[in-house]
Structure 1
Amino acid sequence: MSNHTGSLMTGPLDHLRRPFTRNVTKGQRVLVISDFEHDPRVWQAIMTILADLGAEASLSLFDRRPADYYDPPSGVCEAMMASDLNVLVSSTGMLHCDANLKAMGAGIPAFCLDGGMTLEMLQSGGITESMKDIAIRKHFVSKNVFGENPQTCRVTSRFGTDFTYSVADRITKPPMPSDDFDEYRIVDFAKDENRPGNKLLYYLFPTGEFNVAPVEYSASGKLVIDLTIHHIGRLYSPIEFTVEDGRIVRIDGGAEARILRDHLDRWGDENAYLCPAEASIGINSKAVIRGNQREDKNIWGTMHFGLGTNVDVGGSIMSSIHMDGVILEPTLYVDGEKRIEDGRFLVPVEPS
């Protein structure tokens, strides 16, 4: 059971409440999906909010899944297809598991609070950021960090990263939000963020990343993850990937590297070693280091790199898992021009 069992539910719930108030109506069927290792205060707070709103809410609890992106039990998968809204509050990431992708494809949206977030993470830090500001920054990252028709990215870091990959035809162009932009509305990513070819329908919080799916099999070099990674959490020693033709051929480092090698060997598949499945930029100015990738990957000026599945961010790869690893202070070159230096943007990512 979670080590949060028996702890008090204290502090404000306003940031947690707002998206539910905006999107949930009386009598709506809402399925809350969690597991026995998650902080129970989170799903308790959510169930209380749903009761206040008059929703027809149900809670499903089960054993923690072995890896991120693994489906919940089959009975829960069936219930997800009969719901009006699925709320993901699991210890492992489930936003892009097969069951939720099918539900979103059928027009059933998701609220994503998965990945083992505690109640405190839903009261302070990244969740307090303005979603309109994030939408504005997405527009300017596309316009100024990547520019028109970018081809190649190179990333370096003080821990030894020297990594290149192609982004040809992979940079989306999110529009500037309008004056009446609704910060809490469920996002249809194909329509609202110009991500064609997907059926992503969800509200993610906390959030604050500009997603990029590099061209598959185009990457090479050394990629050193130094802050946080799925499954492990905060890193005490960096993990170094050697990548050839977009595939991890070697994983070096200390104890965490050993944990990751064993995890991929046991729960991954051939596509779990494809890298980078994702190469995204953090743009949340209020996100703080938690030792949990759900918040850490949104920290201003960070970059995170994914392994495995990337159909959710504009790629073509399906895998049994997806894992994000965060570099705290990356340097990014786009077609030879330095755009981020040690986690600091060198070009405008806001109107002023």
Structure 2
Amino acid sequence: MSAFVTGNMKYIRAPFVANIRAGHRVLILSDFSSDQRVWQVVQATCAELGAEVTVALFERRPADYYDPPSAVCEAMLKSDFNVLLCSTGMLHCHANFTAMAQGIPAICMDGGMTLEWFQSGAVTDDMKQIAVRKHYVAKNVFGAEARECRVTSRYGTDFSYSVANRITQPPLPGPTFDPYKIINFAKDENRPGNNLLYYLFPTGEFNVAPVEGSANGKLVIDLTMHHIGRLFTPIELTVKDGRVTDIDGGPEARILRDYLADYGDDNAYMCPAEASVGVNARAVVRGIQREDKNIMGTLHFGLGTNVDVGGSIKSKIHMDGVILHPTLYVDGMMKIDNGKFLVPIEG
């Protein structure tokens, strides 16, 4: 990989220009497996804005949502902003939840994004329009009274779960809306609880936490899976009463089985911890979750933790798997057909 910083930096700079002010204490977290140019550009941007910047570099964590080293965890509680740029996901780790609970927001751009990926694809979409789409997905795809979802796909998915009383509706953005500002999810997106205070970039998903224990059927992940990346053979999950009972398929299925055994816990097999809809019109297939799960019309399903999206499950890990061309029925009515929305979502 080239050590040179080239290309258009306006997208990667945008969340920092919107949030960071002179005198802010900014802690950047990165690891040795990440593209080092990313933290260098972020550090330079924050310094340019007058912030006091500290960079914490450490060995890659063994799994997504594992805490950084203890000294870094302590530093996260003494900063004004924590910037997450690691190759593993840190948004849902205990240290970041603790910091958010104390009112310290996170700017999350982790998961293995390279500097080039911050110059095209999902980061270039109209972020205000993403907020519009999230509102109308909540309203028109689901609706406040939605109860039962069924998902099918060309690879054999036939999967049902309850969303009763789990649909929240983000408001339409008003005239003063800044799409790059830190989001207080209880106040700004009608998702109370859990002290969620962060900005996720790139973004483009409408989150749902299905009713725990309600899911049954076969869920076939065919595009991308956390930790594993781009899938060459689909992963077939058999789910009974909201819990994965079998994981079948090719090499990637073996990797997932081993990963859950090594790094998961009992709750890591709860499914779906999350069932979310992609609404980013510029997202492309990268082979990493940070981008792929935002692709317009995809669905992604989570294992493990879901307290951040309105559920009650706490686990050592959270893993998302993406279906590229899902068909979604809500209370018997088809709302997405092979990845195409059948209801208006643009406003």
TM-score normalised by the chain length of structure 1? 0.98
Q: Which residue of 1 aligns with 2:185?
A: 189
Counterpart of 2:210, as a letter, is P
Q: Is the 8 A contact 2:144 2:167 kept in 1?
A: no
Q: Which residue of 1 aligns with 2:98?
A: 102
Q: Which residue of 2 aligns with 1:283?
A: 279
Task: Tell me if 1:70 matches 2:73.
Answer: no
Cα distance in 1 for residues equivalent to 2:309 and 2:110 = 17
Q: 2:173 aligns with which of 172, 177, 188?
A: 177
Q: Paired residues, what number?
A: 347
Q: Which residue of 1 aligns with 2:307?
A: 311
Is the partner of 1:138 in helix, strand or coil? helix
Cα distance in 1 for residues equivalent to 2:55 and 2:237 = 39
Q: Which deviates the most, 171-180 or 237-246?
A: 171-180
- For residues 192-216 of structure 1, the C-alpha deviation after alignment (integer angstroms, 9 at most, x for no partner) is 0000122110111100000000000
Task: Tell me if 1:299 matches 2:263.
Answer: no
Cα shift at 1:51 = 1.5
Structure 1 runs (4+) greater than 2 angstroms displaced = none
Q: Which residue of 2 aligns with 1:57?
A: 53
RMSD: 0.7
Cα distance in 2 for residues equivalent to 1:203 and 1:23 = 10
Q: Which residue of 2 aligns with 1:23?
A: 19
Cα distance in 2 for residues equivalent to 1:153 and 1:36 = 41
Equivalences for residues 136-151 of structure 1 within 5 A? 136-151=132-147
Q: Which residue of 2 aligns with 1:214?
A: 210
Q: Which deviates the most, 319-328 or 18-27?
A: 18-27
Cα shift at 1:129 = 1.1
Is the partner of 1:154 in helix, strand or coil? strand
Q: 2:244 aligns with which of 224, 227, 248?
A: 248
Q: Which residue of 1 aligns with 2:157?
A: 161
Cα distance in 2 for residues equivalent to 1:245 and 1:19 = 40
Cα shift at 1:9 = 1.4
Cα shift at 1:85 = 0.2
Cα distance in 2 for residues equivalent to 1:176 and 1:53 = 30
Cα distance in 2 for residues equivalent to 1:184 and 1:261 = 37
Q: Is the 8 A contact 2:163 2:209 kept in 1?
A: yes
Task: Tell me if 1:91 matches 2:87.
Answer: yes
Q: Which residue of 2 aligns with 1:43?
A: 39
Cα distance in 2 for residues equivalent to 1:290 and 1:173 = 29
Is the partner of 1:294 in helix, strand or coil? helix
Q: Which runs of 5+ in 2 are unaligned?
A: none
Cα shift at 1:221 = 0.2
Is the partner of 1:214 in helix, strand or coil? coil
Counterpart of 2:41, as a letter, is A
Counterpart of 2:287, as a letter, is G
Cα shift at 1:21 = 1.1
Is the partner of 2:82 in helix, strand or coil? strand
Q: 2:8 aligns with which of 9, 12, 18?
A: 12
Cα distance in 2 for residues equivalent to 1:181 and 1:148 = 24
Is the partner of 2:209 in helix, strand or coil? coil
Cα distance in 1 for residues equivalent to 2:284 and 2:3 = 23
- For residues 197-246 of structure 1, the C-alpha deviation after alignment (integer angstroms, 9 at most, x for no partner) is 22110111100000000000100000000000100100000000000000
Cα distance in 2 for residues equivalent to 1:127 and 1:177 = 19
Is the partner of 1:104 in helix, strand or coil? helix
Cα shift at 1:159 = 0.2
Q: 1:152 aligns with which of 148, 151, 156?
A: 148
TM-score normalised by the chain length of structure 2? 0.99
Cα distance in 2 for residues equivalent to 1:56 and 1:147 = 45
Q: Which residue of 2 aligns with 1:320?
A: 316
Percent identity, aligned pairs only, is 68
Counterpart of 2:31, as a letter, is D
Is the partner of 2:45 in helix, strand or coil? helix
Is the partner of 2:245 in helix, strand or coil? strand
